[in-house]
Amino acid sequence: MKLIGELRALLGESGVLTDPADTSAYTKDWKHTVEGSAACVVRPRTAEEVAGVVRLASAAHVSVIPQGGNTGLAAGAIPDPSGTQIVLTLSRMNAIRKLDPVGMTVEVEAGCIVQAVQDAARAAGRILPVAFAAEGSAQIGGIVSTNAGGSNVLRYGMTRQLVLGLEVVRADGTILNGLRHLRKDNAGYDWKQLYIGSEGTLGIVTAVVLRLMPQPKFVVTSLLSVADPRAALDLLKQMQDGIGDVITAFELISPYSISIVEKHFGLKCPVAGGGWMVLLEASASVPGLREGVDEALAKVLESGIATDGTVAESETQAAQIWALRERITEAELKEGKSVKHDVSVPIPSVPEFLREAEEKLRASIPGAKINAFGHLGDGNIHFNVVVPPVTDAKVVNRLVHDIVALHEGSISAEHGIGSYRVDELERYRSESELVLMKQIKNALDPGGILNPGKVNAGSKI
């Protein structure tokens, strides 16, 4: 293939992988349920090299699939099975260029591992306030391109809220540089918003300026048992009333989720009873946080909204509580075939959604086990269903998503559409929204070479 030679001339021998032994890690998703094939994997070191790859690929009418840490759960960074597409990994572009503790910004290259940026921020007395189980492998470019969520969204917002500046390689191979470290910038259209969350279908993010936050001096982590999701919602209301300004996480965990984490990782839930759990974390720098949380917890325990609970007395105990939450995804993988739903509904509707969806599933899919957990404080539930191997995932999706639609929710709260939810997007977004999305795609990538088939809004119009 002539293109491979051109890419080698541009990037050097080590910049182009073609041996399947080297490329296979880039052609299947984290869950190993979607597997494609690539003509090659390219490993550029600069935005100029990324732009060069895009120009060569475009001239050869070959598509480019940008890939970060490949931790996504929507198969949004995997090539199709044709073996003709190029995977472009940003992993060699991993410099932390500039960290400003006064302006509270950090400028990083797209391939930086999220945790490395978190560590650098902490060393400067600041935090990068994203938190999710895959942060040790996920890359900054990936979380920006997917507008990743996680368990701190309640306090700090989605990744979008943290992006101040962006550098993007456009589909025509030009570099768009907006790496500004500004809090306020209303000069013209805020074009970076188009690229954030567009899953590499409009441009390739090569560098980012992120907002940092002050590092809270005190953190209180607690685990509380509640009778059911409705009680969890009551608990949320009470805690918002009492200490809402210091809550950083409010996570709901079903009994089944706890049971599989205990089973597969030998962990032990410190709160007995085997019921629904809420992980609540609060953080602040002013003294008195622990007393304030204790007082609020005493009230909810007294009133019976929470039936039992524990507060971590050390960082180790806090980490143990978090492990129960963060290992659910891995435990689910060990349980067998699962069908994922990353949904959101208005927060007050969460208990009703859970009740209806569970009822429907139990009636339609005998043997289904519901692994429901997630970010109740944001109305985002991972309603994952462990099913017998013969089950048609699309049937399960339809069932759950129709209930989400009845509650005017979203079929993708934080993981994105990828290739996994393309049909669902067409079904649940209005025609006028799909038309607009298609117009945006056509305007920014008229040749359709960037991550084709992903998101794919309006393809059926």
Residue 2 and residue 400: Cα distance in Å, rounded? 47
Shortest Cβ 189–ligand 2HG spacing (Å)? 31
Other CB atoms closer than 10 Å to residue 287's CB: what's the count? Answer: 10
Q: What minimum distance in Å lies between the beta carbon of 145 and ligand 2HG?
A: 16
Instruction: CB nearer to ligand 2HG: give 41 or 411.
Output: 411
Backbone angles phi and psi of 320, in degrees to 5: -65, -40
Phi-psi category of 369—alpha, beta or left, where left has phi over 0 and alpha has psi -120 to 50? beta
Query: CA–CA separation, 64 vs 449, rounded Å?
Result: 6
Q: How far is the CB of 12 from ligand 2HG (least distance, A)?
A: 37
Least CB distance to ligand 2HG at residue 421 (A) = 13
CB of 42 closer than 8 Å to CB of 7: yes
- Tell me the residue ranges of DSSP E strands in 96-162: 96-100, 105-109, 126-127
C-beta of 382 vs 454, nearer to ligand 2HG: 382
**Per-residue buried b or exposed e for 97-113, using 16+ beta carbons within 10 Å of the residue's own CB:** eebeeeebbbbbbbbbb
CB of 210 to ligand 2HG, least distance (A): 20
Strands (E), 10-142: 16-17, 40-42, 64-67, 86-89, 96-100, 105-109, 126-127
Compare residues 206 and 419 and give the one whose CB is closer to ligand 2HG.
Answer: 419
CB of 65 to ligand 2HG, least distance (A): 22
Nearer to ligand 2HG, 131 or 175 (CB): 131
State the residues that interact with ligand 2HG by CB under 6 A: 73, 132-133, 329, 340, 374, 382, 384
> Least distance in Å: CB of 315 to ligand 2HG?
21
Nearer to ligand 2HG, 168 or 253 (CB): 253
Closer residue to ligand 2HG in complex, CB, 133/260:
133
Distance CA 426, CA 458 (A): 7
Which run of H or of E encompasses 213? strand 213-214
CB of 73 to ligand 2HG, least distance (A): 6
Q: Report the alpha-carbon distance of residue 305 to residue 310 in Å, rounded.
A: 15
Dist CA 375 CA 150 (whole Å): 8
The least CB distance from residue 133 to ligand 2HG, in Å, is: 5
For residue 149, the minimal CB distance to ligand 2HG (Å) is 7
Q: Which amino acid is at 166?
A: L
Nearer to ligand 2HG (CB atom), residue 63 or residue 384? 384
Give the whole-angstrom CA distance, residue 197 versus residue 300: 38
Among residues 192 and 415, whose Cβ is nearest to ligand 2HG? Answer: 415
The DSSP element (H or E) to which 141 belongs, if any, is: helix 140-145
CB of 283 or CB of 329, closer to ligand 2HG: 329
Contact (CB, 8 A) for 250 and 278 = yes
353 within 8 A of 406, measured Cβ to Cβ = no
Ramachandran bin of 97, using left for φ above 0, alpha for ψ from -120 to 50, beta for the remaining angles: alpha
Question: Which one, 39 or 158, has the nearer CB to ligand 2HG?
Answer: 158
Least separation in angstroms between CB 325 and ligand 2HG:
7
By the 10 Å C-beta count (0-12 exposed, 13-18 middle, 19+ buried), 152 is classed as buried
End-to-end alpha-carbon separation of the chain, Å?
A: 35
Give 121: exposed, middle or buried? Use CB within 10 Å, 0-12, 13-18, 19+.
Answer: buried
Q: Is 204 or 413 the residue whose CB approaches ligand 2HG more closely?
A: 413
Complex with ligand 2HG: residue 73 or 370, whichever CB lies closer: 73
d(CA 364, CA 395): 10
CB-based closest residue to ligand 2HG: 329
Minimum CB separation of residue 382 from ligand 2HG in Å reads 4
